[in-house]
Amino acid sequence: MASSGKLRVGEAIIDLLVREYELDTVFGIPGVHNIELFRGLHSSGVRVVAPRHEQGAGFMADGWSIATGKPGVCALISGPGLTNAITPIAQAYHDSRPMLVLASTTPTNALGKKFGPLHDLDDQSAVVCTVTAFSETVTDPNQLPQLIERAWNVFTSSRPRPVHIAIPTDVLEQFVEPFTRVTIASTQTLPSESDIQRAAQLLAAAKRPMIIAGGGAIKAGDTLARIATTIDSPIVLTGNAKGVVPSSHPLCAGSSLVIPRIQDEIEQSDVVLVAGSELSDADLYNGGRALNFSGKVIRIDIDAEQMQRRTSPEISLQGDSLVTLNALDQELNRLGVSSANSGTARATNLRMSARAGVRQDLLPWLDAMEQVIPEGTTVALDSTQLAYAAHTVMSCNTSRSWLAPFGFGTLGCALPMAIGAAIADSTKPVLAIAGDGGWLFTVAEMAAAIDEGVDIVVVLWDNRGYAQIRESFDDVHAPRMGVDVSSHDPTAIARGFGWNAVDVTTIEAFSIVLAEAFEHRGAHFIRISVS
């Protein structure tokens, strides 16, 4: 029995997170090893979302995090619970998103001893350290307040990442006084005033400027738009930056960095401002080739090491994108810059190039969606052909409303990420675009969607297998193997989970049923059957 006022460690963790960090939602599956965490959740009033697989928990937390801007929280069991969730943890890591992973682990006296306890991992931290900002195993409960504060400093930094904390089962069961928040001072790197001045002067003198904005600039949309207007420059967005500058803005060229014609235009620009983008292979999707800038590059990034990767910038501005861009905007105003560089015409041409650069047979389906889906819809994408094209050509006027596995290229994430986003904000319409292959990875989460009562529309692009991979085999004249798979009867599967499900084969029918789905609450599944 506990002394008056004391809590079990599992309860104390949840109490601290609720009281000091505004925790209100947790994703996870209970097990015999994390009961104490769930005991704390039960008494806290926190919404607990139970997926059907820990991979689903991670993807839901990631989708919730994108929609809210706050860290998604997972409560997992040791061993398979954690290993099942590594893929979504890695996805969040590669896309620089916050996620707190709380996992039970082997009792303290058995850590690393190879005694063979249930769900044993010799070293959880070693398993996940490469896809987290840090991973710690707690043997002393007094470590926890400092670790949680350290995690929140990561989450609120300019480059958030997942954090993993493993707590042995015997530690979770100990009684402690309620935790007190520990404050750890954080510092912010700022570029020098002279470098800001040099960058502003370079942009002011540009005759054919270009701006590239990545996910690191997600809070800086208004400032980016002002700078673009001042220097009359198109803005090209990476996948993670879709919506940061509205598609309706005349200088926005959309999330079109993957299009070769647009990469050519960037390479021919005399000055390129890159804000919050790694310019990674996943951003460019051009066979691993780095951009060959003929002009001068100004690069803004929180990571000093990142500045020199894939570029040799003329000016490196290390700092938070919003803070740095605000300083740059102020300096351009002080200089009284007002350029005329045909920015609007160039942006229009780039948008046309983006539309011409995707598979043309997909455009009528995308146009139908564009005409039907309500303004402000949150869209979750899987790794599938229709989704790739949708991301490039469909409009978006709100940041944090397009969810996709940009940095990791994960299959199966669209459905659970959409569920997470729907839980984050039940007032927003939610659409998931998935392929028949990837959808099967997490199909069980259709049951979770019904249990949670979310309003969601899933569009399934059913081309009878892993079509993108199938085409890759064909491109190199390799015999097809393992790519012509079938989900057999997806619509029947969806109905079996309690969804409203229909098949369509024509664009006309698709437009009608999609509009009807958004008009009615509940879970709706639309299968597009294509040859």
Residues 412 and 459 in one domain: yes
Amino acid at 400: R
Does residue 406 lie in a domain region? yes
The pLDDT value recorded for residue 159 is: 85
Q: Which of 329, 355, 381 is the last residue of a domain?
A: 355
Q: Which pair of structure tokens corresponds to residue 50?
A: 């139970």
Residues 342 and 382 in one domain: no
Residues 342 and 373 in one domain: no
Residue 491 belongs to what domain range? 358-529
Q: Which pair of structure tokens corresponds to residue 118?
A: 């249930």
Residues 235 and 312 in one domain: yes
Amino acid at 43: S
Does residue 184 lie in a domain region? no
DSSP 416-435: HHHHHHHHH-TTS-EEEEEE
Positive/negative CA dihedral, 271, 275, 278, 280: negative
Q: How far apart are CA 278 and CA 311, in angstroms?
A: 10
Residues 382 and 509 in one domain: yes
Q: How far apart are CA 96 and CA 160, in angstroms?
A: 5
* 69 contacts 97 by C-beta, under 8 angstroms: no
Residues 369 and 345 in one domain: no
Residues 145 and 284 in one domain: no
Does residue 2 lie in a domain region? no
Q: Which CATH number fits the domain that encloses residue 269?
A: 3.40.50.1220
Q: Which pair of structure tokens corresponds to residue 182?
A: 């520990």
Residue 188, number of CB atoms within 10 A of its CB: 10
Phi, psi (deg, nearest 5) at residue 500: -80, 115
Q: Which CATH number fits the domain that encloses residue 476?
A: 3.40.50.970
Residues 234 and 338 in one domain: yes
Positive/negative CA dihedral, 96, 98, 102, 108: positive
Does residue 55 lie in a domain region? yes
Neighbour-count burial for 80-99, b at 16+ CB within 10 Å, e otherwise: ebbbbbbbbbbbbbbbbbbb
Residues 242 and 297 in one domain: yes
Does residue 231 lie in a domain region? yes
State how far the alpha carbon of 389 is from the alpha carbons of 95, 384, 453, in Å: 20, 9, 30
Q: How far apart are CA 164 and CA 148, in angstroms?
A: 10
Q: Number of folded domains in the chain?
A: 3
Q: Which of these, 268, 507, 177, 234, lies nearest to 365 by C-alpha position?
A: 507
Does residue 52 lie in a domain region? yes
Does residue 152 lie in a domain region? yes
Q: What kind and span of H or E run contains 231? A: helix 221-231
Q: Which of 328, 355, 382 is the last residue of a domain?
A: 355
How far is C-alpha 165 from the chain's CA centre?
21
The pLDDT value recorded for residue 1 is: 42
Q: How far apart are CA 399 and CA 238, in angstroms?
A: 12
The pLDDT value recorded for residue 304 is: 81
Q: Which of 323, 355, 387 is the last residue of a domain?
A: 355
**Region class of 45: left (phi > 0), else alpha (psi between -120 and 50), else beta:** left
Burial class (CB in 10 A: 0-12, 13-18, 19+), 452: buried
Q: How far apart are CA 455 and CA 366, in angstroms?
A: 21
Positive/negative CA dihedral, 168, 170, 171, 172: positive
pLDDT averaged per 10 residues, the chain (length 531): 77 96 96 90 92 97 96 94 96 95 88 74 89 95 96 90 95 95 82 95 96 94 97 95 95 94 95 93 83 94 83 92 96 92 95 95 96 95 93 93 88 97 96 94 97 97 84 86 83 97 96 97 95 70
Residues 346 and 221 in one domain: yes
Q: How far apart are CA 185 and CA 2, in angstroms?
A: 34
**Residue listed under structure tokens 């710690």:** 136
Does residue 220 lie in a domain region? yes
Residues 443 and 479 in one domain: yes
Residues 458 and 325 in one domain: no
